[in-house]
Structures are given as structure tokens and as C-alpha cells.
């Protein structure tokens, strides 16, 4: 068991979220680093970021215009829900990255929280 696995298990046990148990070896940090990512998604993001640099300016360029990225993210989420076109997800991810790096929100900060609010689960459709 890695140190990470041990500490995570102890913290979850302390919160009463899991019973004391031996962790499954499939969940080593190395295995998770290999499985919990999409190289295709990353490549699509990078391709579009490169095109965006040519169209709109380089990342952190002080002279490029400012954009309402949050409105664009919401618009693309609606378009994805309507059409299922995965390009909208890639665009949203890039907009999130740009907002993270260049955002002008007056309260911009990062504070990791686990408030128990997670992705909603709904039953899969039968096709």
C-alpha cells in the first residue's frame, strides 16, 4: 500500500465514510495516473488552444481583448446538451483553462473543498 493509499484510507475511516479495509491494488496512485485521463481529449484541447493562440492571442498576452468566458461556457454547455457534439465539451474545457489562467474575477482564488456536492447520478437509458 502506498503512503497516499494509507493516508486516504485512514482519513475516510476517520470520517466514517468507509469501513476499515484493505485497499484494492487496482487503485494504486500509479494505476490511477494511467487510467484516469483521456489523451484524445487532451490532444483535441491542445489543438484548439494552438489555433486559439493564432486567432485571439497567446496565453497571458496582456494586449489581447478580454472575453466573457463564463457566458461562453454556459452557451456551450447548452449546445452540448442539445446536440451531443463533443467539440462543445472540448471548447468548455479550454475556456475553463483560460479562465483559470487569465480570469479577472475580483475574488479569484483556489480553495479545495469537499462539500459533499458531487455529480448527479441518473440511471442509464436502455437503447
The domain limits of the chain are 3-35, 39-102
Angle between helices 87-102 and 39-56 (to 10 degrees): 60
Residue range 7-56, pLDDT digits in tens? 777 667 666 655 545 556 667 777 778 889 999 999 999 999 999 999 99
pLDDT score at 28:
74
Task: Give the whole-angstrom CA distance, residue 49 versus residue 94.
Answer: 7
Residue range 92-110, pLDDT digits in tens? 999 999 999 999 899 999 9
Residue range 85-94, pLDDT digits in tens? 999 999 999 9
- Region at 9 (left for phi over 0; alpha for psi -120 to 50; beta for the rest): alpha
Amino acid at each position: 500500500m502506498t503512503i497516499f493509499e494509507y493516508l486516504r484510507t485512514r482519513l475516510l475511516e476517520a470520517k466514517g465514510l468507509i469501513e476499515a479495509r484493505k485497499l484494492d491494488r487496482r487503485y494504486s496512485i500509479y494505476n490511477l495516473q494511467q487510467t484516469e485521463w483521456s489523451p484524445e481529449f487532451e490532444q483535441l484541447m491542445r489543438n484548439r488552444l494552438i489555433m486559439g493562440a493564432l486567432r485571439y492571442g497567446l496565453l497571458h498576452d496582456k494586449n489581447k481583448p478580454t472575453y466573457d468566458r463564463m457566458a461562453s461556457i454556459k452557451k456551450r454547455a447548452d449546445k452540448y446538451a442539445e446536440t451531443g457534439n463533443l467539440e462543445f465539451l472540448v471548447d468548455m474545457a479550454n475556456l475553463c483553462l483560460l479562465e483559470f489562467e487569465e480570469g479577472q474575477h475580483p475574488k479569484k482564488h483556489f480553495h479545495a473543498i469537499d462539500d459533499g456536492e458531487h455529480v448527479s447520478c441518473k440511471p442509464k437509458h436502455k437503447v
